[in-house]
Chains A and B, each alone.
Chain A
Amino acid sequence: MSWMPFKIGQPKKQIVSKTVERDFEREYDKLQKLEDQTKKLHKDMKKSTEADIAMSKAAVKISGDLLSNPLCEQDQAFLESMTALDTAMKRMDSFNQEKVNQISKTVIDPLKKYSSVFPSLNMAVKRREQALQDYKRLQSKVEKYEEKEKTGPIMVKLHQAREELRPVREDFESKNKQLLDEMPKFYHSRIDYFQPSFEALIRAQVVYFTEMHNIFSELTDQIDQAGLTDEQRERENEAKLNELRALSIVADD
């Protein structure tokens, strides 16, 4: 595949045509890129799923810690609000878990399985390359004998060499053909293989966010002041903080 400088043992006859070699390289390149992408996607999906789970658990902790603080017992309305918040967070966490499970089954596992094919494929390509080298070596040997004078021993040697060459050539040709057949097929198979994964990813998100919308709409009605814009909220927060700062018992920085 790469240009070998003046190496003895290279046959003169072109064993594999340039177009075939180029096709082979192109197909193999595509597969190598696919392998790379599959691995990266698998890793990234795992990382993002982990972060997702951690976020959800952190949210549950927020509400859980608040609820367990005796502060809640000081005011009934506050207690009700905190209970509602806690319930909502726990429900969201269980939906999140469900979502993650579904994604695990329909996306992350298939990704892993798909990656596991590549080592065998790479090995097969290596074997083909080995076979090609053998083929070239034996082919050049045959050519060497073919050029010499046709004496008895030479004829014998030539015949032996041809005999040696034949199964090697056939082995290479069969490997070559099979790979040229299989590689594009495998590359194309990714579409059908991964379509359910992508659809499942989307669907899982849709379900999760629909639930989130329902749960938090209810909760917001219960515990939030209605009709506030972000600026209004900021202003209110700042006003309260300033009131606090105005107290003498609060340190002035």
Chain B
Amino acid sequence: MESPLSAESAPPTPAPRNHTPSPSPRAEARELRMEEKERTEEDPIYLSLLSEVSVFVEESAEDASEKAEEKAEEKAEEKAEERAEREAQRQLLATEELVYTERNYLRLLQVCNCTIRSNLQKLQPQLPNLDSMFLYIEEVIDMSGRLLSLLDQKQMTPHDPLFLETLCDAFLSLSTDMESAYKEYLVNYNTVTALENSYKQKDALWTEIVKVIKSSAPEVNAASLSFFLVMPVQRIARYPLLLQTVMKHTEPGHPAYSLLEQTAHTAIALNCRINEYKRFREVADKYKKTETLTIRDKMNRLNSHSIAKKTARLSQFIKHETGIAPKLVDEEFDALEGFFYLLENGITVLHENVETYLDHLQRFLNCRPEEFDLDMDGERPAICYKEIITALRQWILPTFEKRMRTLVHKPLCALRELLAGPRNLISKRLDKLLDYELIEEKPSLSYDEQAVANTYKTINTLLLNELPQFNGLALTLLWGMLGAFSCLHKDLAADMEQLFQGFTQQLPHGSLEPNAFWEWAECSVQEGARRLESLCWNVKDQLNAPIVQPLSPGSQKRLKVLTDKHGSGKIYQLTGHVVGSRDLDLSLNRGELVAIISEMDTRGDKRRWLVDAGGPRGYVPSSRLVRYHQVTMDPPPSPHLITTMDHAGGVRRHSYTPDVRRPSYTPDTPQPLLVRTMSMTVPCLQVLAGYDFRARSSHEVSLRAGEPIRVLEPHDKKGSCDWSLVEVRGQRGYVPSNYLTVMPTSTTPTAPYR
């Protein structure tokens, strides 16, 4: 993790920023042990032991597998040890980072408060309101100073095992005071930025200010006051992340772990409370003077009478819908009932929608893209992104969610439950009404009938009285929730904006206008894609070069046909797939053989060659073609030597190289014989008998394996290449050609091939 103050030269504090800590004694011991291991495995005694034992493969197989297991275990242990070492180092680095950045932060704040401030005060004409810029900076400086002095008192360095505990204790003990100091500072910070902007309006004044800043703090690349003054805003938000980075590299079993956890949580809670306080103050300050409660007024006007009046329209609507007015039509009631049902619908739907919304919010919070930083934790944009998203995910959005639940979801749930009562009562009234209608006309009612009538009337009256209140209250409640919903969004956005402050300065392209920025971003992305593509091509082409396989029978046939037609000098092989795009282009696979008809197309383009693919003719890109070497059927003019090698068949994998000088391999008979041609320039080759041969007739001559011979004619009287006329030991005669072999006579066997 880099501190934001990157443009500095050698810092005055003891720990240089990018130093690797000197290896601890444990690490050094490990180094020694590893060297030892290397040495034993190359020990000549060890090696010869290896070769002896290799004879008794079966017996030692078991031992071998046991040893393998042991070795694997040892290796796993080693790896675990290595990892623990690395984590310990990283933890150390993170702790040092925290302390180092704190010192730097304090120093810069002090420079700002003392040097810059006093220099600014000397400016003529006097800067208006200068003091309000520095209103709470001293409290913040004091906090930082106290934290560092608590650490220094113990005279420990981060290497000390107890350092973490001291750090956490110090932080926790100061957290209350820190909250007080920072919350005032953050509230005041808006004033600071507004004031700075007013200074910027006057060019001459601003130039003077910048001059003062640059001369007071020459080693820092600052061009504004807010460069310094934004630091506390950033610092308080950074504590959680710094602490969590230390935690990330600490074993849960570490004695200071739970304390570290507690400290990290405290840091987060600190941020939440400070933000809350800020919001509260902003709202209070804004509305202290004007009492704009028109919304409240409007809501208060929703009383029972107004609802009944306003819902008169609704009763008309109902009348029209039903067509026939029921005998006992109570317009007022119907209006109230209608309103109630709409309210019920609205509340239910809203409740479901809010729950869906909160679900998605939770899903969003469950994603942790900031954890996969692609090992780019030295890069500014990656760091900024990580910090922003961590803050968003860890306390800004959770605060938003909590407030949503408290101020919107919970009351909505409660309200929804309350709907049941009136709803049931309304349906009961209807039932009673139907009963009542039946007996209403009767002149005299029995006792039971009287009871029915009374029940209906009671319910009706009750609803008529209370439903308006219910409707009105429910509506105002709803309205209030929606207002809160909007306010929560506003606060969320404000929190994020505060978080962003200072970050955009740090980004290399942060100052670009939106259009320019997106243009740059899209261009860079395209550029990156292009480079990636070419890398892919390289990897595919070079590293995955096709492995030469013996020709398939089909290929062999084609080879013969093409060679007969065009001659062996014209045979080329495809090094990659080609897909024809124009009219006469061919589509061929990698490895296919073709014969060249013309090394350019009809327009003279030398990159397109006309080829014969053993049937179809067309163009292929010349970049995909390479010369194919094979045994020449017609004997070359100079005495040439055919060597034969007895090979036990099987697929041989050799690298394919397009180098013209290299011989390539191909079997040209069904027998697994390999025939090779060589360019003969220097006769430093010797023909030998490869095997013993007993002459069976007077035309033949016997051979002894290894003896040098001289080839007189590489074929017999009938022209067959199976027999060669040779001279050996002064005798002449025929021997089978494949019993001969060629050996270079020089001591470096590979020399003639270069």
What residues of chain A have their CB less than 8 Å away from a CB belonging to chain B? 3, 5-6, 8, 12, 14, 18, 30, 33-34, 37-38, 40-41, 44-45, 47-48, 50-52, 54-55, 58-59, 61-62, 65-66, 69-71, 73-75, 77-78, 81-82, 85, 88, 92, 102, 105-106, 109-110, 113-114, 116-117, 120-121, 123-124, 127-128, 130-131, 134, 151-153, 155-156, 159-160, 162, 164, 166-168, 170-172, 174-175, 178-179, 182, 186, 189-203, 205-207, 209-210, 212-213, 216-217, 219-220, 222-230, 233-234, 236-237, 240-241, 243-245, 247-251, 253
State in angstroms the CA–CA spacing of A159 and B744 once bound together: 9
Q: Looking across the interface, which residue of chain A has its beta carbon closest to that of B364?
A: A51
Q: Looking across the interface, which residue of chain A has its beta carbon closest to that of B287?
A: A227
State in angstroms the CA–CA spacing of A79 and B406 once bound together: 25
Tell me which of B385, B406, B470 has the highest count of chain A C-beta atoms within 10 A of its own C-beta: B385
State in angstroms the CA–CA spacing of A170 and B494 once bound together: 64
Interface of chain A, helix or strand or loop or mixed? helix
State in angstroms the CA–CA spacing of A23 and B128 once bound together: 63
Contact B38 A105 (CB under 8 A): no
Partner of A77, one of B298, B411, B522, B532: B298
Additional 9 contacts, C-beta under 8 A, given A75-B302, A220-B486: A3-B71, A34-B374, A65-B349, A85-B482, A152-B705, A153-B706, A172-B655, A243-B473, A245-B418
A166 CB, min distance to chain B CBs, angstroms: 6
Contact B507 A202 (CB under 8 A): yes
State in angstroms the CA–CA spacing of A164 and B487 once bound together: 79
B402 CB, min distance to chain A CBs, angstroms: 10
Question: Which of B230-238, B251-259, B568-576, B686-694 binds A?
Answer: B686-694
Q: Looking across the interface, which residue of chain B has its beta carbon closest to that of A48?
A: B367
Contact B293 A123 (CB under 8 A): no
CB within 8 Å for A223 and B357 given contacts A174-B655, A241-B411: no
Q: Looking across the interface, which residue of chain B has its beta carbon closest to that of A3?
A: B71
Chain B 280-313 near chain A by CB (<8 Å), digits 1 or 0: 1001101100001101101000100001001101
A176 CB, min distance to chain B CBs, angstroms: 10
Q: Find chain A residues with CB under 8 A from B374 CB.
A: 34, 37-38, 41, 190, 194
Q: B479 within 8 Å of A by Cβ?
A: yes
Contact A120 B536 (CB under 8 A): yes
Partner of A249, one of B463, B487, B521, B536: B463
Q: Looking across the interface, which residue of chain B has its beta carbon closest to that of A245?
A: B418
Q: Find chain B residues with CB under 8 A from A92 CB.
A: 489
CB within 8 Å for A171 and B385 given contacts A65-B350, A220-B486, A230-B407: no
CB within 8 Å for A124 and B520 given contacts A65-B353, A212-B489, A227-B283: no
A114 CB, min distance to chain B CBs, angstroms: 7
A44 CB, min distance to chain B CBs, angstroms: 4
CB within 8 Å for A5 and B67 given contacts A65-B353, A124-B544, A168-B653: yes
CB within 8 Å for A190 and B350 given contacts A202-B503, A237-B480, A251-B421: no
Q: Find chain A residues with CB under 8 A from B414 CB.
A: 241
Q: Find chain B residues with CB under 8 A from A171 CB.
A: 654-655, 657
Question: Which of B149-157, B190-198, B340-348, B609-617 binds A?
Answer: B340-348
Partner of A6, one of B57, B425, B489, B507: B57
Contact B482 A213 (CB under 8 A): no
Q: B330 within 8 Å of A by Cβ?
A: no
Contact B292 A226 (CB under 8 A): yes
State in angstroms the CA–CA spacing of A123 and B547 once bound together: 13
Q: Find chain B residues with CB under 8 A from A229 CB.
A: 280, 283
B608 CB, min distance to chain A CBs, angstroms: 28
Q: B525 within 8 Å of A by Cβ?
A: yes
Q: B372 within 8 Å of A by Cβ?
A: yes
Q: Can you list 26 A-B contacts (CB < 8 A)?
A: A14-B42, A62-B353, A66-B350, A70-B314, A71-B343, A73-B313, A74-B339, A110-B529, A117-B532, A160-B645, A182-B535, A189-B531, A191-B376, A195-B382, A196-B528, A199-B381, A199-B508, A202-B384, A207-B514, A209-B493, A212-B493, A225-B293, A233-B484, A234-B406, A234-B407, A240-B473
State in angstroms the CA–CA spacing of A106 and B517 once bound together: 12
Contact A109 B544 (CB under 8 A): no
Question: Which of B45-53, B553-561, B585-593 binds A?
Answer: B45-53
Q: Find chain B residues with CB under 8 A from A186 CB.
A: 535
Q: B363 within 8 Å of A by Cβ?
A: yes
Contact A58 B750 (CB under 8 A): no
Contact A209 B496 (CB under 8 A): yes
Contact A55 B376 (CB under 8 A): no
Q: Looking across the interface, which residue of chain A has its beta carbon closest to that of B512?
A: A203
Partner of B487, one of A50, A74, A78, A220: A220
Q: B319 within 8 Å of A by Cβ?
A: no
Tell me which of A12, A162, A228 has the highest count of chain B C-beta atoms within 10 A of its own C-beta: A228
Contact A227 B284 (CB under 8 A): yes
Q: Looking across the interface, which residue of chain B has its beta carbon closest to that of A107?
A: B525
Partner of B539, one of A117, A191, A197: A117
State in angstroms the CA–CA spacing of A236 and B276 once bound together: 19
Q: Find chain B residues with CB under 8 A from A8 CB.
A: 54, 57
State in angstroms the CA–CA spacing of A22 and B486 once bound together: 59
Q: Looking across the interface, which residue of chain B has its beta carbon closest to that of A247?
A: B466
State in angstroms the CA–CA spacing of A8 and B58 once bound together: 12
B387 CB, min distance to chain A CBs, angstroms: 10
State in angstroms the CA–CA spacing of A203 and B483 once bound together: 29
B window 655-680: CB within 8 A of A: 655, 657, 662
Q: Find chain B residues with CB under 8 A from A248 CB.
A: 462, 466
Q: Looking across the interface, which residue of chain A has its beta carbon closest to that of B645?
A: A160
Chain B 709-729 near chain A by CB (<8 Å), digits 1 or 0: 000000000000000000000
Q: B731 within 8 Å of A by Cβ?
A: no
Contact B369 A41 (CB under 8 A): yes
B window 363-386: CB within 8 A of A: 363-364, 367-369, 371-376, 379, 381-382, 384-385
Contact B706 A151 (CB under 8 A): yes
Contact A37 B689 (CB under 8 A): no
Contact B350 A226 (CB under 8 A): no
State in angstroms the CA–CA spacing of A121 and B731 once bound together: 61
Q: Find chain B residues with CB under 8 A from A197 CB.
A: 525
Partner of B369, one of A48, A121, A222, A251: A48
Q: B80 within 8 Å of A by Cβ?
A: no
A194 CB, min distance to chain B CBs, angstroms: 6
Partner of B520, one of A40, A162, A196: A196
Chain B 473-493 near chain A by CB (<8 Å), digits 1 or 0: 111110111111111011011
State in angstroms the CA–CA spacing of A82 and B371 once bound together: 40
Contact A6 B54 (CB under 8 A): yes
Q: Find chain A residues with CB under 8 A from B737 CB.
A: none
State in angstroms the CA–CA spacing of A171 and B753 once bound together: 16
Contact A216 B489 (CB under 8 A): yes
State in angstroms the CA–CA spacing of A213 and B491 once bound together: 8
B35 CB, min distance to chain A CBs, angstroms: 11
State in angstroms the CA–CA spacing of A222 and B298 once bound together: 12
A169 CB, min distance to chain B CBs, angstroms: 9
State in angstroms the CA–CA spacing of A40 and B372 once bound together: 7
State in angstroms the CA–CA spacing of A89 and B159 once bound together: 53
Contact A230 B293 (CB under 8 A): no
Q: B388 within 8 Å of A by Cβ?
A: yes
Contact B483 A224 (CB under 8 A): yes
Q: Looking across the interface, which residue of chain B has its beta carbon closest to that of A153?
A: B705
B40 CB, min distance to chain A CBs, angstroms: 12
CB within 8 Å for A75 and B42 given contacts A6-B57, A166-B750, A209-B497: no
Q: Find chain B residues with CB under 8 A from A62 CB.
A: 350, 353-354, 357, 485
CB within 8 Å for A198 and B655 given contacts A12-B47, A54-B363, A203-B517: no
Contact B293 A168 (CB under 8 A): no
Contact A6 B60 (CB under 8 A): yes
Q: B415 within 8 Å of A by Cβ?
A: yes
Q: Find chain A residues with CB under 8 A from B418 CB.
A: 241, 244-245, 250-251
B272 CB, min distance to chain A CBs, angstroms: 12
Q: B500 within 8 Å of A by Cβ?
A: yes
CB within 8 Å for A240 and B483 given contacts A44-B372, A77-B298: no
B335 CB, min distance to chain A CBs, angstroms: 10
